Every structure is written in structure tokens, then in C-alpha cells.
Amino acid sequence: MSANRGSAGDRTSGVGTGDERGLESAETPPGLVSAVVAYTDGPDRRTVYPPGLSSVERMSTWFTADDDAFLDVDEMR
């Protein structure tokens, strides 16, 4: 995740419907969770990663982008 550039508020939300243990099938998309960090001097940033990983494993399986780059799936249908 990016370095703290100001006072940050942390809020998390679940995304996806996969198995918490990371077991997946062709019919079930992988489960993901996300955490948003709000910055006072820049855009809010969202980090997305699979749940249930150790901190070491998570470091190689996450991505971060500006929160406004993400779209609500239900709104896009």
C-alpha cells in the first residue's frame, strides 16, 4: 500500500463471492476484499487482495489504485 500522505481513515469492504480459503472453480469468481485509505492531500486509494493470506503472501498478491477508478458492478449492469 502507498505511504501515508496525510491523516488517513481506514474502511474495508468485501468484494466477490469466492471461497474464503481461496478455493475456486470455473463457475465461481475468486473472492477479493478491499481496503480504502482516505488521504487529506490526495485521492483516496483502494487496495484489493485475496482474503485469508498471511501478510507475507499478501505482499505479492495485491494491487492499489485511486478509489474513483473502481466501478460498482450493480450500477454497471
**2-44 tens-digit pLDDT:** 443 333 444 444 444 333 344 455 566 668 899 999 999 999 9
- Cell for 64? 492499489
Give the helix ranges, DSSP H, for the chain.
55-58, 73-76
State yes or no: pLDDT of 52 exceeds 80. Answer: yes
56 φ/ψ angles, rounded to the nearest 5 degrees = -70, -45
Per DSSP, 26 falls in state S
Distance of alpha carbon 70 from alpha carbon 35, whole angstroms: 12
Among 22-26, 49-53, 65-69, which stretch is predicted with the lowest mean pLDDT?
22-26
* Average pLDDT for 47-76: 90
Q: How confident is the model at residue 55 (pLDDT cuts 50, 70, 90)?
A: confident
Among the listed residues 2, 16, 8, 9, the one whose alpha carbon sits nearest the alpha carbon of residue 49 = 16
